[in-house]
Chain A
Amino acid sequence: MAKTPEFEIPPFRTELENPALVEGAMAHCQPFIAAPEHNTDLGFPGELVDNWEMKAVEKLGDLLNKNRALRVYLDSCVKCGACTDKCHYFIGTGDPKNMPVARQDLLRSVYRRYFTLAGKIAPGLVGAKDMTKDVLDDWYKYFHQCSQCRRCAVFCPYGIDTAEISMAARDIMDHIGLGTKYNNEILGKVHKIGNNLGLPENALINTMEGLEEDVEDETGITVRFPVDKKGADVLLVTPSADFFAEPHVDGLIGYAKVFHQAGINWTVSSHASEAANFAMFIGSYEQMHKVAQRIRQAALDLGVKRVIFGECGHAWRVAYSFLNTLAGPWDFLDPKYPKPQHILEVTYDLIQRGAINLDASANDDKVLTFHDSCNVARATRMGDVEGGQFIIPREVIKASVNKFVDMNPDTTHEKTFCCGGGGGLLTDDLMELRIKGALPRMEALKDVVDNHGVTHMAAICAICKSQFAKVMPYYGFPMDMIVSVHQLVSDAILLGTKE
């Protein structure tokens, strides 16, 4: 049942060998350029400005003074090659510019030319380059073939994080009027309507009412799905895909059942009806700040005591690592709980305390594996021990399902591979890249399917779920093989057994 697109699906490798270098293999691949209004809505110039070469260099100088990571990473690389075979896009495409160091060098060569003595005196010697149209074209293509998953950084002796460099490059491009349609249009919707999908308030309320009816029909129990409920204890901030897309919505039903069963008084907000913060993808602190402030506003308006995030990878990064910075201090929330908290931390804690009952045999038709989402794995934590982000989702799955198998350890935990659609690349105009970039994860999945009878893969990220549902059929897996962790909880939870 594999689909046939106009490019070749990379074959599964037998020995996980590195691909042969094919220069320019992905030089034709780039996302749609933003229309002027997508850029101007965010305060960026509509189109490539006059004098963009100079403006780009100026913006790079600005970022160098604002971000230590960028400066240290541009100065410290020794070209040792440790990262060269670690990127899923390189593995899937063989394009040498998808090797992390080569991708970084697209920006580093310009940094050297304008900001280092060696690059000013002897550009040819140190690989320094002028800011030209060719360089800009390469930036636009290859900084949009990075999903900012940080896998390369794990293997770098200096922790050089290509994500930081691609974020800087995208920020520079936005500042000279070269943005992507996908990301900038979505950010505009967040500012105007409150979520990435442009789902207005009344549609949100209708959807949530519909879910309430569905669950009642199915279980005979009234599980509430409140919107804008003042005085609720908990504000749930979740990716908008959870409101209707499959398999995301099954996860949302799972959260609601958990809250119901634990007697937690919760609500979502129509003002902040989106956990995602795509401003991270475009590397704009200012935009990220603005998007994050919605959540603070919603929490204050509704008078909640806790903020809990749904299953979403980069959103959890922004929530866990950045929210205190961007929209804190959160001193008006209940100090007994982490600020903010992940839904899995909540569910895990309830399971530990025996506050909810799960019957794992409800999922006996399934054998599960778990895809560690890149942002959760390498940029956040859950719980109060190092590595809790690996333990807690697995423990919740194991409490909900009897049969669980982990994939090849070189592809899980902090070494996990990106799904291939992260970092603002989850758009149909990049389908070839997304399919090829999924190769390493698909190989690891194939292994546990063939050898351990795995039937389903759980994920805790809206982008992972959408990406896998779309690309798995190209590799011969059914699209409904990808499930939310809370979908498993939803199936296993025994409603009405606790009061």
Chain B
Amino acid sequence: MSGLTLAYALAFYFAVVVLVVGVAFKIGQFWTTPTPLKIPLMPAPMTRKGVGFRLAREVIYFESLFKSNKWIWIFAVLFHAGLVLVVLRHLRYFTEPVWFWVVLVQPFGIYAGFAMVAGLLGLWARRFVVDRIRYISSLSDHLMLALLTLIGVSGLMMKYVARTDIIALKAFCLGLVRFDLQPLPSDPVLLLHMGLVALLMIVFPFSKLLHVPGVFFSPSRNQVDDAREKRHLAPWAAKLDTQSKI
């Protein structure tokens, strides 16, 4: 086994651990931090089920963003929907035999790759063209878009420009999953693609990518409108009650 294979294998194991532990830590932190007051953005659903629908609409078709700005919405949907299909398409590298529905996804995954990159370029262009968004963009916002765009472009390059040994790659991926390392093809584009993916996984829990768990924990969207019916009380706030009980 080459040093390259070992380095990439270790990098991926490290990245997975950082991603899982990091995100689990943040979810734990969000989960355990109390909400002192009921602050749903009204009009809000009056049942838990209604809140489920509200969050689903936000996650699946970005309802609020649609209300806000059609350009951002279009680019965001292109990118996110594209990313979902691309990730599903990649499941074929980690499953043997490949699941039935993953086979079905394959042709769509290709278009999705282009959609994803187009969405990213649109979002990136807005950071230069729209003065308001230029003002609020910091270096990390540009770097995050650069990272994602490079991942998308290098992925597409392997399909259309510099094809890699897909059979060997799959053996490497399955080897990772089965803890039985197999050699990784040393094509530069593949190495770039995989290195950037590992990097993305590592920065995930330390970056604005925390919007992924965050969207589910936002009190303004996930609270039920029932303040008059049910008393809501945070443990730290309950102490004030006992100090001054009338």
Is B35 touching A67 in the complex (CB atoms < 8 A)?
A: yes
Q: Render A363-391 as a binary contact track against B, CB cut-off 8 A, 1 for contact.
A: 00000000000000111110000110110
Is A325 touching B215 in the complex (CB atoms < 8 A)?
A: no
Contact of A21 among B58, B132, B210, B244 (CB under 8 A): B132
Is A378 touching B41 in the complex (CB atoms < 8 A)?
A: yes
Is A161 touching B39 in the complex (CB atoms < 8 A)?
A: yes
Q: Kindly state whether residue A324 has any CB partner on chain B within 8 Å.
A: yes
Is A80 touching B232 in the complex (CB atoms < 8 A)?
A: no
Is B30 touching A155 in the complex (CB atoms < 8 A)?
A: no
Chain A residue numbers with a CB within 8 Å of B139 are: 124-127
User: Which residue of B is nearest A294, CB measured?
Assistant: B246
Q: How far is the CA of A391 from the CA of B158 in the complex (A)?
A: 58
Q: Render A30-74 as a binary contact track against B, CB cut-off 8 A, 1 for contact.
A: 000000000000000000000000000000000011111101110
Q: How far is the CA of A160 from the CA of B30 in the complex (A)?
A: 14
Is A72 touching B30 in the complex (CB atoms < 8 A)?
A: yes
Chain A residue numbers with a CB within 8 Å of B37 are: 285, 321-322, 325
Q: Kindly state whether residue A329 has any CB partner on chain B within 8 Å.
A: yes
Q: How far is the CA of A321 from the CA of B33 in the complex (A)?
A: 20
User: Which residue of A is nearest B218, CB measured?
Assistant: A159
Is A81 touching B126 in the complex (CB atoms < 8 A)?
A: yes
Is A387 touching B219 in the complex (CB atoms < 8 A)?
A: no
Q: Render B73-97 as a binary contact track against A, CB cut-off 8 A, 1 for contact.
A: 0001000000000000000000000
Q: Render B115-155 as a binary contact track against A, CB cut-off 8 A, 1 for contact.
A: 00000000100100011110111111101000000000000
Is A296 touching B132 in the complex (CB atoms < 8 A)?
A: no
Q: How far is the CA of A99 from the CA of B236 in the complex (A)?
A: 33
Chain B residue numbers with a CB within 8 Å of A381 are: 42-44, 225
Chain B residue numbers with a CB within 8 Å of A80 are: 65, 72, 76, 123
Q: How far is the CA of A338 from the CA of B65 in the complex (A)?
A: 34
User: Which residue of B is nearest A19, CB measured?
Assistant: B132
Is B240 touching A286 in the complex (CB atoms < 8 A)?
A: yes
Q: Kindly state whether residue B220 has any CB partner on chain A within 8 Å.
A: yes
Q: Kindly state whether residue B195 has any CB partner on chain A within 8 Å.
A: no
Chain B residue numbers with a CB within 8 Å of A124 are: 139
Q: Kindly state whether residue B206 has any CB partner on chain A within 8 Å.
A: yes
Q: Kindly state whether residue A84 has any CB partner on chain B within 8 Å.
A: yes
Is A158 touching B218 in the complex (CB atoms < 8 A)?
A: yes
Is B42 touching A380 in the complex (CB atoms < 8 A)?
A: yes
Q: How far is the CA of A75 from the CA of B215 in the complex (A)?
A: 10
Q: How far is the CA of A82 from the CA of B246 in the complex (A)?
A: 45
Is B218 touching A160 in the complex (CB atoms < 8 A)?
A: yes
Chain A residue numbers with a CB within 8 Å of B217 are: 68, 72
Chain B residue numbers with a CB within 8 Å of A65 are: 33
Chain A residue numbers with a CB within 8 Å of B2 are: none
User: Which residue of B is nearest A109, CB measured?
Assistant: B138
Q: Residue among B42, B139, B219, B236 with the most chain A CB within 10 A?
A: B42
Q: Render B41-81 as a binary contact track against A, CB cut-off 8 A, 1 for contact.
A: 11111100000000000100010110111001000100000
Is A157 touching B130 in the complex (CB atoms < 8 A)?
A: no
Q: How far is the CB of B141 from chain A (nearest CB, A)?
A: 5
Is A118 touching B132 in the complex (CB atoms < 8 A)?
A: no
Q: How far is the CB of A391 from chain B (nearest CB, A)?
A: 10
Is A322 touching B227 in the complex (CB atoms < 8 A)?
A: yes
Q: How far is the CA of A125 from the CA of B241 in the complex (A)?
A: 44
Is B130 touching A293 in the complex (CB atoms < 8 A)?
A: no
Q: How far is the CA of A75 from the CA of B217 in the complex (A)?
A: 11
Q: Kindly state whether residue B237 has any CB partner on chain A within 8 Å.
A: yes
Q: Residue among A65, A73, A79, A85 with the most chain B CB within 10 A?
A: A79
Chain B: how many interface residues by the 8 Å CB criterion?
Answer: 65
Is B30 touching A150 in the complex (CB atoms < 8 A)?
A: no
Q: How far is the CA of A486 from the CA of B155 in the complex (A)?
A: 65
Q: How far is the CA of A379 from the CA of B136 in the complex (A)?
A: 27
Q: How far is the CA of A381 from the CA of B228 in the complex (A)?
A: 10
Q: How far is the CB of B59 from chain A (nearest CB, A)?
A: 9
Q: Kindly state whether residue B231 has any CB partner on chain A within 8 Å.
A: yes
Q: How far is the CA of A155 from the CA of B67 in the complex (A)?
A: 6
Q: How far is the CB of B139 from chain A (nearest CB, A)?
A: 5
User: Which residue of B is nearest A288, CB measured?
Assistant: B37
Q: How far is the CA of A297 from the CA of B189 in the complex (A)?
A: 72
Chain A residue numbers with a CB within 8 Å of B131 are: 20-21
Q: Kindly state whether residue A164 has any CB partner on chain B within 8 Å.
A: yes
Q: How far is the CA of A329 from the CA of B233 in the complex (A)?
A: 10
- Cβ < 8 Å to B, chain A residues 217-261: none
Q: How far is the CA of A22 from the CA of B234 in the complex (A)?
A: 42
Q: Given A76-B211, A153-B220, do A66 and B36 touch, yes or no (CB 8 Å)?
A: yes
Q: Given A65-B33, A321-B37, do A101 and B67 touch, yes or no (CB 8 Å)?
A: no
Chain B residue numbers with a CB within 8 Å of A76 are: 208, 210-211, 214-215, 218
Q: How far is the CB of B143 from chain A (nearest CB, A)?
A: 7
Chain B residue numbers with a CB within 8 Å of A340 are: 228
Q: Kindly state whether residue A204 has any CB partner on chain B within 8 Å.
A: no
Is A84 touching B133 in the complex (CB atoms < 8 A)?
A: yes
Q: Kindly state whether residue A396 has any CB partner on chain B within 8 Å.
A: no
Q: How far is the CA of A82 from the CA of B130 in the complex (A)?
A: 12
Q: Kindly state whether residue A200 has any CB partner on chain B within 8 Å.
A: no
Q: Kindly state whether residue A398 has any CB partner on chain B within 8 Å.
A: no
Is B67 touching A154 in the complex (CB atoms < 8 A)?
A: yes
Chain A residue numbers with a CB within 8 Å of B67 are: 154-155
Q: Given A159-B41, A381-B43, do A125 and B33 touch, yes or no (CB 8 Å)?
A: no
Q: Kindly state whether residue B221 has any CB partner on chain A within 8 Å.
A: yes
Q: How far is the CB of B227 from chain A (nearest CB, A)?
A: 5
Is A81 touching B72 in the complex (CB atoms < 8 A)?
A: yes
Q: Tell me the A residues contacting B by CB distance below 8 Å.
A: 18, 20-21, 64-69, 71-73, 75-86, 96, 99, 101-102, 105, 116-118, 124-127, 150, 153-161, 164, 285-286, 289-290, 293, 296-297, 300, 320-322, 324-325, 328-329, 338-340, 377-381, 386-387, 389-390, 414
Q: Pick 11 A–B contacts, CB within 8 A, sort by A.
A: A68-B219, A69-B39, A78-B141, A78-B211, A79-B141, A116-B206, A158-B214, A321-B38, A322-B38, A377-B42, A387-B42
Known: A321-B227, A380-B42. 8 other contacts (CB 8 A): A75-B208, A102-B135, A118-B140, A125-B140, A126-B139, A157-B68, A285-B240, A378-B42
